[in-house]
Structure 1
Amino acid sequence: MTVTTELNVSELVEKACVKTGLSDFGDDWFREPLDVLVTSLNTEASLSPLGFELTKHRLTALLSDRLRLRELQRKNPSVLDVEVRVAAEICGLPRTGSTLLHRLLSASPQVTSTLSWEVAYPIPFPEEGPDAELRKRRAQERMQVFAQLSPDFGDLHTVVWDGPEEDVILLDRTFVSMSYDSFYWVPTYGDWLRSADQRPAYRELREWLQVLQWQNPSRAGRPWVLKSPHHLTAVDTVLDTFDGCKIVMTHRSPVNAVPSYASMVRAMSSQYSESVDPVRIGQYWSRRFASTLQDFAASREARPDRFVDVRFADTVSKPLEVARQVLDALDLPAGAADDRAFEAYLEQNRTERHGSHSYAPTDFGMSEDQLKRDFDFYSEVYL
């Protein structure tokens, strides 16, 4: 299916300016990733009419948030002085237990994490009170729409509007984000992303964390525990940007993880295109993850003291023990309050747990033997 019309960067920028009444984007470094993304969307993504409208709305909203960020910093310069300390970025291939680990660790009273409603709407609305009720309601409504567009997604991944969520959604506003080639077929953008200098994007991630911390003084003194597979594309940049941050790497056999993620990508991208090729998706992500893990090995070898390993089987079978071990590795020894919080979250998780879904490597043009061969370098070391 061909694109019915084209996205235009200049029009998107102008629309954001009109929408907000603002015009100062600050440093325009973001124009390169935005240009690459829009070109790839126009030439490769085969957007449906609905997908085109949703994407145009989304990109305009992200550009609007960039404008609002600069305006907030201009009016409240003290936000730039907020000290941000990141204790951990939880990484690993998708579908490796990183979400369970993140939500479990986020329950600890010693740390803080990005929440779903605030990564969706990080800037206060005009005349909004400190309880952020309008943004929270918008987030709930947005989640309901998402569930209607992708009814099978809940079987793949539980999303809670007020629960911990990936900080990569903040990075979406830089247009340097794994979100885009997960939701769209944009391989040219994906190739660009793997070779891009992500330092400007991570500097802005720090600024977004400053904004969230500034809005909620109770976060002062508590380090962030963040999570996203995206950070595997920029491990060294993460470690350079956030002093003292450790990479918590979740491990699961790629024979299981890669087809599982391909299944998720198929569900997500079906919202935006009626031309979704599962074999093409599987081959793309298999190649991409193999390359990413090879790069990860080199980063880890250079700074082994900045990495913590967690195996999927352990997270599932003994989550409390794993959570305590990770906090210890982050120099945040777990106490009785942490144990109570972990137990409470696990009980909550039992009620929220999503359904099961079935998939096989052959659904996505892969075989178990091929995956074992392609990821042999990883499995021999970490599994």
Structure 2
Amino acid sequence: MSAPLRVDELLGTARDKTGLTEFGDDWFLEPLGVLVTALNDEARLSEIGLAMTRRRLTALLADRLRLRALHREHPAILDVEPVVAAEICGLPRTGSTLLYRLLAASPKLTSTLSWETSYPLPFPGEGAGAPERKRRAEERAKAFLELSPDFGDIHTIAWDAPEEDVILVDRSFVSMSFDSFYWVPGYGDWLRAADQTRAYAELYQWLQVLQWQDPARAGRKWVLKSPHHLTAVDTVLDTFEGCKIVMTHRSPARAVPSYASMVCTMSAQYSEKTDPVAVGRYWSDRFAATLREFSAVRAKRPERFVDVRFDAMLTEPVTQARRVLGELGLTADEADDAAFLSYVERDRAERKAAHSYTAEEFGLSAGQLDRDFAAYLEEYL
């Protein structure tokens, strides 16, 4: 068995890889330490899973070093002012990706693209258009689907499509990505109680870097998306002045088992064994608690929330996209309509086989989920 993960070795490897030494504020060492402990003690990593995880954590640390170096070389980056119009969130598997990619198609908005979330920083000597980063991102997407060939039936993978901004937050080690890809409930417990202010300040810095690299984004507002943001709604609203939370809604009896299935598919890449029942119960309990906390936060600033139902996204996606755009203070015009219709047609053509699962596979039942989420169902569905 390979040696366990160690924070000091990961930091050293990242420094050796980049030739850089300055991480800046070391606040990230706490979440990294919690994560590493959980990965060693709970995740049941396979040999290949451990090797992949070691490379991934090293790459995230290397990006932290490179970001600080880029700031030193180009201090004007810190003067860029990205404006976030909306963070789309809701339980996973509630139509948020469809809404996100629809809105991102609007000429009035911009979003984080998949290749950018994987490789947000320019490579040395890189020319215009980031061809090497795009090539690597395309290869990375192919490799991911080779490891999890059924994943494309659950979530459409496209290296050049809008993707969740939480992947940028991964570099702060304060992210729902980690307990989605690994069985690390200890880390998940820590995350739910953590103050995420510094992680979101760093997300703002990553948006600055992306906007600085692409002058075409000037004057366009950002639309972002991840269910992770449900864990830090107050922080999102404090960090991004004027931003609205667009909340997608679907019956938890469908959404929770669907996400449990997705998590099992992802974690199988890394772990020697996955326990579907434990995964199902973990996410059911976690989402129920998250939504209870969310309701209290929302009550303080109701004017900054927009609701979209899953069934409406399926039956009238363009109408919903137009409505949300209006809620963000932007009026849809002919260019927006054309972009929305084009995306809907492309999405239908690319859609894979139906995602098949049952609640019982994950130790859940529709009745139990309806009871556990009764307050949410009564208020929003």
Q: Which amino acid aligns with 1:204?
A: E
For 1:300-319, list aligned pairs within 5 A. 300-319=298-317
Shift of 1:4: 4.5
Equivalent residue of 1:87, what SS? strand
Q: Is the 8 A contact 1:176 1:201 kept in 2?
A: yes
Shift of 1:5: 2.8
For 1:198-347, list aligned pairs within 5 A. 198-347=196-345
Stretches of 4+ moved more than 2 A in 1?
none
For 1:58-73, list aligned pairs within 5 A. 58-73=56-71
For 1:121-140, list aligned pairs within 5 A. 121-140=119-138
Q: Deviations over 1:223-262 (max 9, x none)?
A: 1000000000000000000000000000000000000000
- Distance between the aligned counterparts of 2:247 and 2:232, measured in 1? 13
Partner of 2:84: 86
Q: Which moved more, 1:250-259 or 1:347-356?
A: 347-356
Q: Which amino acid aligns with 1:285?
A: W
For 1:23-102, list aligned pairs within 5 A. 23-102=21-100
Q: Which amino acid aligns with 1:27?
A: D
Partner of 1:373: 371
TM-score, normalised by the number of residues in structure 2: 0.99
- Distance between the aligned counterparts of 1:355 and 1:26, measured in 2? 46
Gaps of 5+ in 2: none
- Distance between the aligned counterparts of 2:178 and 2:324, measured in 1? 30
Equivalent residue of 1:201, what SS? helix
- Distance between the aligned counterparts of 2:137 and 2:52, measured in 1? 16
User: Aligned pair 1:15/2:22, yes or no?
Assistant: no
Percent identical across equivalent pairs?
A: 67
Shift of 1:351: 2.0
User: Aligned pair 1:192/2:162, yes or no?
Assistant: no
Partner of 1:112: 110
Equivalent residue of 2:259, what SS? helix
Q: Which amino acid aligns with 2:228?
A: H
- Distance between the aligned counterparts of 1:306 and 1:91, measured in 2? 13
Shift of 1:274: 1.9
Q: Is the 8 A contact 1:283 1:366 kept in 2?
A: yes
- Distance between the aligned counterparts of 1:336 and 1:314, measured in 2? 22
Equivalent residue of 2:175, what SS? coil
Q: Deviations over 1:257-298 (max 9, x none)?
A: 000000000000000012100000000000000000001100
- Distance between the aligned counterparts of 2:171 and 2:312, measured in 1? 34
Q: Which of 148, 151, 156 is the aligned partner of 2:149?
A: 151
User: In the comparison of the two structures, how many residue pairs are matched?
Assistant: 381
Partner of 2:166: 168
Shift of 1:354: 2.2
Equivalent residue of 1:309, what SS? strand
Q: Which amino acid aligns with 2:61?
A: L
- Distance between the aligned counterparts of 2:226 and 2:129, measured in 1? 27
- Distance between the aligned counterparts of 1:172 and 1:354, measured in 2? 28
TM-score, normalised by the number of residues in structure 1: 0.99
User: Aligned pair 1:363/2:361, yes or no?
Assistant: yes
Query: What value does the CA root-mean-square deviation take over the aligned residues?
Result: 0.6
Q: Deviations over 1:67-113 (max 9, x none)?
A: 00000000000000001100000000000000000000000000000
Q: Deviations over 1:332-353 (max 9, x none)?
A: 1111110000011111112221
Q: Deviations over 1:5-55 (max 9, x none)?
A: 300100000000000000000100000000000000000000000000000
Q: Which amino acid aligns with 1:101?
A: L
Q: Is the 8 A contact 1:4 1:48 kept in 2?
A: no
Q: Which moved more, 1:352-361 or 1:293-302?
A: 352-361
Q: Which amino acid aligns with 2:368?
A: Q
Q: Deviations over 1:56-77 (max 9, x none)?
A: 0000000000000000000000
Shift of 1:161: 0.5
Q: Which amino acid aligns with 1:312?
A: F
Equivalent residue of 2:123, what SS? coil
Q: Which amino acid aligns with 1:162?
A: D
Gaps of 5+ in 1: none
Q: Is the 8 A contact 1:279 1:365 kept in 2?
A: yes
- Distance between the aligned counterparts of 1:25 and 1:274, measured in 2? 33
Equivalent residue of 1:310, what SS? strand
